[in-house]
Structure 1
Amino acid sequence: MFLRIAAPVLAGCLLGASSLRAQNELGNFSTAARGGVATTFVTDFQAIGVNPANLGRQDNARVAFTIAEFGVGVGSQSLTRTQLRKFIENSDETLTLAQKQEMARAFTSDNVLNLNADATPIAFSVVLPLVGSFAVSSRQRVTTHLGLNKNTAELLWLGKDAPIYPANFNPATAPLISEVLDGTSVQLAAYNEYNIAYGRQVLRLPSFSLSVGAGYRYVQGVGVVDVRASGGKLEAYSALSPQFNVDYGSVASNPSFNLRQDADKLIQPVGRGHGYDLGVAAEVGKKLRLGASVTDIGTMRWEGNLLTANDQRLKRLRSSGANSYEFLSELENIFASGTDSLFQYTPAQERNASLPTKLRLGAGLRVGTRLEVGADVTMPLNEVAGNLPNAFYGVALDVKPVSWIRLSTGLTTGAGYGLGLPVGFAIATKIYELGIGTRDLRGLLSDNKPYASVAVGTLRFKFGTAR
């Protein structure tokens, strides 16, 4: 399933972390440098997907655009950096029973792995006098989350020898999958987006101004996997583009299966949707900024290569679990539609799912022309593949030791990660900007709860001011 494409992405991230020796908006290097704190900081096209009301601020450039910004991040709250490196450097090593039991314990966590990748090929914004500000962009994003309970972790690493199977195991009286996997989530979401946003100042007083904004995005669904068991309920479905190279076997000949298999196309969506953003921003005096927004309101309709599974009784696996650090193929074996899967997948015509809706609240304070401080809270408003697993909290600051250099840092927590220390550097003149940032320097350097991330942009330009 999705692991055939997730594997090289994960490998690239982990190798990147090794070379450095060490979900929010990783495609924006300045936001990544603040750890994701963005609600009151972003201007121009950066406001897309964060707070479109910021397009109405007076400090926006009259024209601004960027080309080829990107970012990637991978982290774990239960694995060590040493363990993560083994998945790359020692992936073929045959494991002993003791090593497999050790890995099962390490994988028992609601945050075994979180991976995000964002890319912004192009973004553009313009201020039109008396009309307001418009911004457009294209964006690609991939989000993966893996959380396993004890049973699932043991099934992954021990297979048929997992403790969930007693000596007298009887499939007819076995517990339901929803009970066995309770607390497990295996999720992937890959989207291609086309965005447009509008913002305008609607009130301007001597010591107070108010802006409002709205955004729309057309979303192409490249792939989704959502397997979750919680509170006695099971949700399991997938829809993956031909680019994922899934072998559907006999399912492909089922007349109820809406097969899409032209892998030669650059992008062949298997779903589509419409998303909306709403925001408000205020400036109190010349120093205090406030902002609030709700983003990704809307739904996706998945209809190509769609498979779903219902709850059923646990069956005994035939495999003995992952025998090496290359666990992804075994994870696929358990959750995919193969002969040794825990699930019996059936074709479906369509499935509607909400976009990963979030509420953002932020406050910022400008101290002179060289220092700006901000604080953000971002809360997921639904539980779907691609959304934050829990609330994000952060504080950040920008310092300009000279007018054309910006240093960024802060403290963040939540969103599936531990305490983060973001840092970033940018050369920011009135016309040109380039920079690099990481969402957590501490995660790059620590062996426990590692998190490696980097966001880069080299072609950001601004011309004129809206004042």
Structure 2
Amino acid sequence: MNFSRFAAGLGLVVATATTGHAQNELSNFTATGRGGVATTFASDYQSIGINPANLGRIGGATVAFTIGEVGAGAASQSLTRPQLRRFITDTNQPLTAAEKQALATAFNSNNALNVNADATTLALAVQLPVIGGVAISNRVRTAGHVGLNKNAADILFLGKDAPIYTSTAAGNVPLVSEALAGTELQFAVLNEFNLAWGTRLVDLPLFQLSAGAGYRYIQGVGIVDIRVRPGDLRAYTSMSPVFDIDYGNLVNNPSFNLKTGSGLQPVGKGHGFDVGLAAEVGKAVRLGLAVTDIGQMTWTGNLLTANDQKLKRLKSSGVGSYNFIKEAAEIFASGTDSLFQYQTGQDRRADLPTKLRAGAGVRLSEYFEVGLDVTMPLNRVAGNLPSPFVGAGLDYKPVKWLRLSSGLTGGAGYGFSVPLGFTLVTSFYEAGISTRDVAGLVTSEHPYFSAAAGFLRFKLGGKSQ
């Protein structure tokens, strides 16, 4: 497989539509400033994918809408800040022998690289009498995760000179599932159209309970999902024509469902659902519970799968430049020098990255709110969290026109983080910029580059929150 424009394609997806394992809040600049703590904070259309029951709250804006809320992040628990930065800024720079050795060591980690980029292109929420709150949105989510064992990291950067090949030169060649056990390489791009609804079920003076549900129609733009366990290899890819992949002789196979064309032509489709509850106790305490991304995707276009097999020796010297996505995909996917022998297929079903969210918050006034969040992955698929997320967040308005957000968060493959966000607030307009981790922008170890922004968020009628 020739991924000659893989990285360019990814950039095109993010730029025209706008993904670590993914969390849903990077396109929500207010939640990003709290590190993703949002289960009780989120309101109006920002409740989509977090807790649709929050749409049943009474007292918020009658109409809220936005155009173009975007965010992106890249983090590593094993790379240094200069190493991670060069993968972002120096993609055409070749690797020296010393750099290849250093990266082979650094990528021997179950969280060597997590990247994601989300974008809400358009969203609208309306409060209707009797019915409750209704919201719609279009959002593109991209997510990637790289976790490699020592053999996989050596092969990736040293190629044919990796030590595993020397130790097996006598002919005792292991299976891929033995040599690469613990390796994960995942990437997904989803274009989704959301509809959510929330309504109040109980309305007492000191207790209110709301319920909500959400539905999304999902177009699959691309996926790479490679997971290796002892005795078990699971690997498949399905990529849109926007990635400009050359499948060679595979296109002549009658079982290969070739998709051609231009733009974000989908190669898969699916349906997802969210359900949630939200309670308000007294005048200050808020509680939330939700399950998100229930459902499945069916991938059909340009689908390739691989089964367990003897470890192949590469012909090349491995990744030779900082264009990591392109070159890693050529080695682990179906290129002329791939580790795996892929077969064509007609369709493959995959679960969505289902998550359980629970949160508690205290809204002391319209100027100050604090909250705790826990998000747990309910399955292990491309795009889900590798581990539970735990966070504490706060919103504080030192003056009426400025809201500051921060907190402490950990888990989800990103380690300990200190988020920060700034939002300009008026009675009808909000604009802001935020990051998931202030320290990760500048520290050498455990770097985390992230930013989210929105400049066209409007809230009309009612009492904005």
Compute the displacement of 1:333 (Å). 2.8
C-alpha distance in structure 1 between counterparts of 2:4 and 2:27, whole Å = 24
Contact 1:2 / 1:225 at 8 angstroms: preserved in 2? no
| Map of 1:71 onto structure 2 | 71
User: What is the Cα deviation at residue 389 of structure 1?
Assistant: 1.2
Instruction: In structure 2, give the amino acid aligned to 1:344.
Output: Q
Shift of 1:254: 0.7
Q: In structure 2, what residue type is equivalent to 1:106?
A: A
- Number of matched pairs: 453
Structure 2: distance between partners of 1:246 and 1:133:
43
Report the residue type matching 2:151 in the other structure: N
| Closer, same or farther: CA 230–331 of 1 in aligned 2, 3 Å | same
Normalising by structure 2, what TM-score?
0.94
Counterpart residue number, 2:93: 92
Q: Is 1:377 the equivalent of 2:374?
A: yes
Q: Is the 8 A contact 2:199 2:210 kept in 1?
A: yes
Contact 1:92 1:324 in 2 (8 A): yes
* Structure 2 residue 41 is the aligned partner of structure 1 residue 41: yes
1:391 equivalent in structure 2: 388
With over 3 angstroms needed to count, the CA separation of the structure-2 counterparts of 1:140 and 1:323, relative to structure 1, is closer
1:290 to 1:241, Cα distance in 2 relative to 1, 3 A = same
Among 413, 417, 422, the residue aligned to 2:419: 422
SS of the residue 1:164 aligns to? helix
SS of the equivalent of 1:259 reads coil
Q: In structure 1, the residue corresponding to 2:287 is in which secondary structure?
A: strand
- Give the corresponding residue for 1:16: none
Gapped regions of structure 2 (runs ≥ 5): 13-22
Q: Secondary structure at the match of 1:273?
A: strand
Match of 1:345 in 2: 342
Change (3 A) 1:327 1:403: closer
**Which residue does 1:80 correspond to in 2?**
80
For 1:198, the equivalent position in structure 2 comes to 197
Report the CA distance shift for 1:396/1:283 in structure 2 as closer, same or farther (over 3 A).
same
Change (3 A) 1:425 1:167: closer
Q: Is the 8 A contact 1:44 1:64 kept in 2?
A: yes
Q: Give the 3-state SS of the residue equivalent to 1:386 in structure 2.
A: coil
Where do residues 176-215 of structure 1 align in structure 2 (5 Å cutoff)? 176-215=175-214
Matches of 2:396 and 2:95, distance apart in 1 = 50
3 and 431 in structure 1: CA distance in 2 versus 1, 3 angstrom threshold? farther
Match of 1:17 in 2: none
Task: Report the residue type matching 1:336 in the other structure.
Answer: A
- Aligned counterparts of 2:65 and 2:335: Cα–Cα separation in 1: 46
Task: Using the TM superposition, give the Cα deviation of residue 24 of structure 1 relative to its aligned residue in structure 2, in angstroms.
Answer: 3.8
Distance in 2 of aligned mates of 1:269 and 1:8: 17
**SS across alignment from 1:416:** coil
How do 1:428-439 and structure 2 match up within 5 A?
428-439=425-436
Opposite residue 187 of structure 2, the aligned amino acid is: L
Question: What root-mean-square deviation, in Å, do the aligned CA atoms of Structure 1 and Structure 2 show?
Answer: 1.9
**2: distance between equivalents of 1:89 and 1:49?**
34
Following superposition, the deviation at residue 86 of structure 1 comes to 3.6
- The answer on whether the counterparts of 1:148 and 1:184 sit within 8 Å (CA) in structure 2 is yes
Q: Which residue of 2 aligns with 1:163?
A: 163
Shift in Å, 1:59:
2.8
Map 1:100-249 to 2 at 5 A. 100-166=100-166, 169=169, 173-249=172-248
Distance 1:5 1:392, change over 3 A: farther
For residue 303 of structure 1, report the CA deviation from its aligned partner.
0.5
Residues 69-96 of structure 1 deviation map (CA, whole Å, 9 limit, x = unaligned): 1111111111011122344348534512
Q: How does 1:284-303 map to 2 (within 5 A)?
A: 284-303=281-300
The counterpart of 1:269, out of the listed 266, 269, 273, is 266
Which stretches of structure 1, 4 residues or longer, exceed 6 Å deviation after superposition? 9-12
Q: Is the 8 A contact 1:2 1:188 kept in 2?
A: no
